[in-house]
Amino acid sequence: MSTITTSQDAQPADLKEKSRVQAYVELTKLRISVMVLFTFAAAAFLAAGTATGPASEPLTFTLLLGALVGMLAIAASGNAMNMYLERYSDFLMPRTAQRPLPAQRLSATEVATFGAIAFGVGVGFLLALVNWETALCGVANWILYVFIYTPLKRKTHFNTEIGAVAGAMPVVMGSLAATHSVGLVCWAFFGVLFLWQFPHFMAIAWMYRKDYESGGLKMLTVTEPTGAAAGRKAIITGVLLIAVSLVPVMSMRTVGHVWVFSILAVLLGLFYLKAAIAFNGSRTEPIARKLLRVSLLYLPLYMILLLVACLT
């Protein structure tokens, strides 16, 4: 009796194993996880450098490394569990149909197991090498992202606000890791990261609105398909972002730092706001893609500016 062999079965064992490793890496959404690490580390240095009193613990290499490993594991777990919970909607959307679960490169059990192990490893590292406050905040943020934000995507467009809180929480965790507290500069950084996400995501939501609709996800560009509400939200949050981005001047050492930081922060904010205004006026894919590119420039430039202004 003849046997039908699929192309996947016919692959050499080493290629199949490489494909599985790649699938596990994809579960972590590595680019997003790395961005989380950068914001976490930036907040830790800011907190340690701007604390009004002595930090509860020195920001040692061991502490920072343990914190980064813990953060990476928790972020990877959250992203994996997000894919686990959204595996059916991912199957319906062309841009996510090749993810490990809808493409059947990993089973649901394997993904859930990976998410659970990564979560345990992350919390363990934070408890053992950092402090309980950071670990508790990490657990709370994981719950917010996995069990509140992810299900809300199928129910209301306000899921974006919840997701923005989860996206900005690494700033709070970085500050807690360094000083056991959150000061003014880090709260301002949290606010910037929270507000930055809205124009950024409105661009994404417009570009992939048909995918979101196919997957049954209630993004603002799906519930209000003209995009007018998305454009207004991008502008409003862009204006608020400029105001919040200036709050750290209250903790800067010299008048020179205040002036230079203020001018550059406003220019950066206006650059971002201009792209949001253009998006509101003409919601085409090239304009939305430009807003997305500008958002990806704004955040690292603002972080560098903030670190230089506060730590020099």
pLDDT of 140-157, one tens digit each?
999 999 999 999 999 999
- Summarize pLDDT for 263-306 with one digit per residue, the tens: 999 999 999 999 999 999 999 999 999 999 999 999 999 999 99
Question: 163 and 253 share a domain?
Answer: no
The Cα–Cα gap between 102 and 253 comes to 53
- Summarize pLDDT for 57-106 with one digit per residue, the tens: 568 888 999 999 999 999 999 999 999 999 999 999 998 999 999 999 99
Of the three residues 120, 151, 181, the one that is the final residue of a domain is: 181
Question: 81 and 225 share a domain?
Answer: no
What's 98-145 look like in SS3? CCCCCCCCCCHHHHHHHHHHHHHHHHHHHHHHCCHHHHHHHHHHHHHH
CATH number at residue 103: 1.10.357.140
Domain that holds residue 275: 183-312
Total domains in the fold of the chain: 2
Which of 201-205, 226-230, 250-254 shows the lowest mean pLDDT across its residues? 250-254
Question: 305 and 269 share a domain?
Answer: yes
Mean predicted confidence (pLDDT) in 22-39: 93
Binned at pLDDT 50, 70 and 90, residue 19 comes out as confident
Q: For position 144, what pLDDT does the model report?
A: 97
DSSP state letters, 207-248: HTHHHHHHTT---HHHHSTTSHHHHHHHHHHHHHHHHHHTGG
Residues 6 or more apart in contact with residue 2 via CB below 8 angstroms: none
Q: For position 107, what pLDDT does the model report?
A: 95
Q: For position 61, what pLDDT does the model report?
A: 86
Q: For position 51, what pLDDT does the model report?
A: 75
Q: What's the token pair of residue 48?
A: 């340690």
Contact criterion met (CB below 8 Å) for 65 and 79: no
Question: 142 and 88 share a domain?
Answer: yes
pLDDT cut 90: percent of the chain above it: 87
Question: 158 and 284 share a domain?
Answer: no
| Site of tokens 């595996």 | 87
Q: For position 16, what pLDDT does the model report?
A: 62
Contact criterion met (CB below 8 Å) for 212 and 219: yes
Identify the residue with better confidence: 11 or 188.
Answer: 188
Please give the model's pTM, rounded to 2 decimal places.
0.91
Q: What's the token pair of residue 57?
A: 């613990």
Is position 156 within any domain? Answer: yes
Of the three residues 160, 181, 202, the one that is the final residue of a domain is: 181
Contact criterion met (CB below 8 Å) for 148 and 163: no
Question: 202 and 305 share a domain?
Answer: yes
Identify the residue with better confidence: 55 or 170.
Answer: 170
Mean predicted confidence (pLDDT) in 249-260: 94
Of the three residues 135, 153, 181, the one that is the final residue of a domain is: 181
Maximum alpha-carbon separation in the chain: 85
Is position 235 within any domain? Answer: yes
